[in-house]
Amino acid sequence: MSDLTSTTVHLRAAGVSLVVDVSQHRLPRIVHWGEDLGDLDEVALSALMIASTEPSVGGELDARYPVAILPEHSWGWMGTPGLSGHRDGRDHSTRFDVSTVDLTASGNTTGQEPATQRLTVQAADAVAQLDLALTIEMLGSGLVRARASVTSTGHGSSGVLGAGDAGSGEVAESPRVAPYTLDGLHLMFPVPREATELLDFTGRWIRERTPQRAAFSVGAHVREARRGKPGHDSAFVVSAGQPGFGFRRGQVWSTHVAWSGNSRTIAERTNAGVGLVGGGELMFPGEVQLAVGETYQGPWVYGSYGDGLDQMSSRFHRYLRSRPDHPHRPRPVIVNTWEAVYFDHDHAKLYALADAAAEVGAERFVLDDGWFNHRRSDNAGLGDWYVDRDVYPEGLGPLADYVRSKGMEFGLWVEPEMINPDSDLARLHPEWIAQPTPRPATAHGGGRLPLEARRQQVLDLTHPEAYAYIAERLHALVADIKPAYLKWDHNRDLLEAGSTLTGRAVGHLQTLAYYRLLDGLRSAFPGLEIESCAGGGGRVDIEVLEHAHRIWTSDTNDALERQRMQRYTGLLVPPEMMGAHIGPPTAHTTGRTQTLDFRAGTAIWGHLGIEWNVAGPEASEPATRAALSAWVALYKQFRQLLHTGTVVRSDLPVTGRVLHGVVAPDLSEALYCFASTDSVAESPTGQICLEGLDPAVTYRVSHVGPLTLSESGSRAVPPWWSAADAGGPVELSGHVLATHGIQAPGLFPEEVALIHLVRAA
């Protein structure tokens, strides 16, 4: 052990305590994770340990051993082991012995967060010939995260293979250590017994982040992503909490696996009452085999505690915003060409679209799919990353220059991880297509390619030549066209994705190659921004946000769907990193028709864009063009508040109504959105409480935005809406607004109202 003055470590930040037992040369055991316990001295910590020690019970081991953050079967943990693997069937169980424990603190260069407290542990299992390095951090936001790496050392005698190791009893002349096949590495955080309810997510394409709740009972609730990405049905954030926990109240303990490939999340409770939440990477069979000296490093597993989901969520937001390379400049309004032109890259249409985009106030123009060789539909061309000279005889330079002459940045769509079998690249290098282990053709058939999706296969980025080709093409395109932004798509799952060089599955290494491509571009072209898109919201996690600047929330711009998606995607992703676009009046993904006010009033709560033919007949009507311009101007007016403030989501007692907002960091201003998603059985109005404010400050309340409501039919406007006609501005304290509230305006289904609060003079 190191020279730590105590075998109990107490980490504290932002109202959270993490008490860790590092005694007896065992892996760290978390004694308490949750509400801050205050300043505990050595005597108090010792008393806490005694008070937390469980007695043994009948029918169990002779002693009860607290479960470690990496649970080991050898210490009596009968649930999912933290480390699973073997050497040709041997060394299937571990008991790590800790050699060093260090506690350090490091500052944050932005000065926005307190120092990160870091506990590092080195351990070894001499029998299994494995070394383990474990890091546990308490970030300034109160966010906890942990990661581990395992190394095959080759020290010791177990697992040694040789010429005589086939049951003959002979001594091997040239012994060698069999590779260690790693099947799983999971880190788990304990949660108390009162956390009896689970919340995680599921979904599908155009229906991402659909919440689902279940009882946290005995057994394992396991969610696995085997798509080579988190997927549209990702568990996303797994939360265990007190019964009925919501956004504003109820203690909740949440975890997130920060990995953009295959993952496993686990919420497990034993009959002894121990509850754990956490996870790690999911490996395809046999893909991680560690020869002597080789190391596997797992992803960060995050834990966030809060009194309500909002407090839990704010810790993720604070962390992301504290990073030096977080996108801090105002998020430019985007016009994306996809739903305006699809594959019809007619020059007159594109130039007219650029004119109209500039007129309504757009600041970035993104050319979507269809600009490269053979790409007249989604059936061909992926992999042929050269500008199609039949469509753009002079290249993309003239269009990019025209866009920039209009005061906008130029952006470009790419999908570098995929390949169409109908492409020059596939015909030239079929061995670059990820596939099951190829077999020589015989009379009974040969190898096979995975089933197609969108006529696509996966390009094996673990193949050095394939990686070099893609890296060269991307760097050449960016150097030539000088886009400020890449929309990076990933439309199909990794199905039977193996390397033709090694025959092994490529899920782990493919993900690392993706990160390297992004990091290489960002290093070579400072200022280039990249969006993570995967058929919409299929690759959304903390780690991808370390390499990209925003995510595309979903391929649907239907505002009704977006009200829910953005609400829950925002548990992890702050608004400025969440793409939210104004679609056309009728959404092509759902067929719903919605007003501009509802579409725009929903989209401004993220990184605003427009996915609509703003040069088309619908958008060219003077009244529509003026209204769209007004919404863009409103976004620009409030984006500093929207993208730096604390997100607040209310738990309304009725369905069909949604209330959320953003409060300035200094609590001087707030903007709320009250939305109607359906008709309600109760009165269409009623009190709504505006939470997250300074209770001692008086705020002036008013409505804001292009939307105007008049008393009509079942719709009623409360007096404060037109305060000038009702005796003057409404001014109330934050305490009154949070506990008593104000009367809501009556809304038809699929309408929004924006409520602005500012500190009264």
- For residue range 213-235, what is the model confidence (pLDDT) as tens digits? 999 999 999 999 999 999 999 99
Quote the CA–CA distance of 133 and 259 in Å, as a whole number: 19
Q: Is 599 helix (H, G, I), strand (E, B) or coil?
A: helix
Residue-wise pLDDT for 290-318, tens only, equals 999 999 999 999 999 999 999 999 999 99
How confident is residue 439, by pLDDT bands cut at 50, 70 and 90?
low
> To which H or E segment does residue 673 belong?
strand 669-676
Portion of the chain with pLDDT greater than 90, in percent: 84
683 inside domain: yes
Q: How far apart are the first and last CA of the chain?
A: 59
Burial class (CB in 10 A: 0-12, 13-18, 19+), 160: middle
Q: Which of 304, 322, 340 is the last residue of a domain?
A: 322
pLDDT of residue 64: 79
Q: Does residue 478 sit in helix, strand or coil?
A: helix
Task: Judge whether 411 lies within some domain.
Answer: no
Which of 132-141, 146-155, 408-417 is the least confident region? Answer: 146-155
Instruction: State pLDDT tens for residues 449-498.
Output: 999 999 999 999 999 999 999 999 999 999 999 999 999 999 999 999 99
Is residue 446 domain-resident? Answer: no
Could you say which of 322, 347, 376 is where a domain stops?
322
* Nearest-angstrom CA–CA distance, 373 and 386: 6
In a domain, 563, yes or no: no
- The per-residue pLDDT for 541 is 98
The H-or-E segment that residue 515 falls in is: helix 507-524
Write out the two tokens for 421.
Answer: 């079998």
- 404 is a domain residue: no
Structural domain containing residue 747: 648-759
Neighbours of 19 (CB within 10 A): 21
**Across 579-595, average pLDDT:** 97
Task: Tell whether the model's pLDDT for residue 148 goes beyond 60.
Answer: yes
> pLDDT tens-digit profile of 717-757?
888 887 766 666 899 999 999 999 999 988 889 999 999 99
Distance CA 7, CA 705 (A): 58
Query: What would the pLDDT profile of 493-518 be if each residue is shown by its tens digit?
Result: 999 999 989 999 999 999 999 999 99
The model's confidence at residue 639, banded by pLDDT at 50, 70 and 90, is very high
Give the tens place of pLDDT for each residue, 160-215. 333 333 344 444 444 578 999 999 999 999 999 999 999 999 999 999 999 999 99
- From the number of C-beta atoms within 10 Å of its C-beta (0-12, 13-18, 19+), residue 593 rates as exposed
Q: If pLDDT is split at 50, 70 and 90, which confidence band does 65 have? A: confident
Place of tokens 């403030």: 645
Average pLDDT, the chain: 92
DSSP string, 381-416: -TT--SB-TTT-TT-SHHHHHHHHHTT-EEEEEE-T
The region of weakest confidence among 1-15, 197-211, 242-256 is: 1-15
CATH number of the domain within which 257 lies: 2.70.98.60
Q: Which pLDDT score, from 0 to 100, does residue 55 have?
A: 83
**Ramachandran sector of residue 484 (left: φ over 0; alpha: ψ -120 to 50; beta: rest):** alpha
186 assigned to some structural domain: yes
Q: Residue 518 contacts by C-beta under 8 Å, 6 or more apart in sequence? A: 488, 530, 547, 548
User: Which sign, positive or negative, has the C-alpha torsion 247, 249, 250, 254?
Assistant: positive
CATH number assigned to the domain comprising residue 708: 2.60.40.1180
Which of 261, 287, 322 is the last residue in one of the domains?
A: 322
User: What CA–CA distance (Å, rounded) separates 357 from 370?
Assistant: 20
Token pair listed for 721 = 């809406």
Residue 177: per-residue pLDDT: 85
Residue 502 lies in a domain: no
Say yes or no to pLDDT of 679 above 70. Answer: yes
pLDDT for 725 equals 62
Q: Which pLDDT does position 680 carry in this prediction?
A: 76
Lowest-confidence pick of 73-82, 138-147, 360-369, 637-646? 73-82
In a domain, 561, yes or no: no
Residues serving a catalytic function are 489, 555
- Give the per-residue pLDDT at 113: 64
pLDDT digits (tens, 9 = 90+) for 33-62: 999 999 999 999 999 999 998 887 777 777
In the chain, how many domains are there? 2
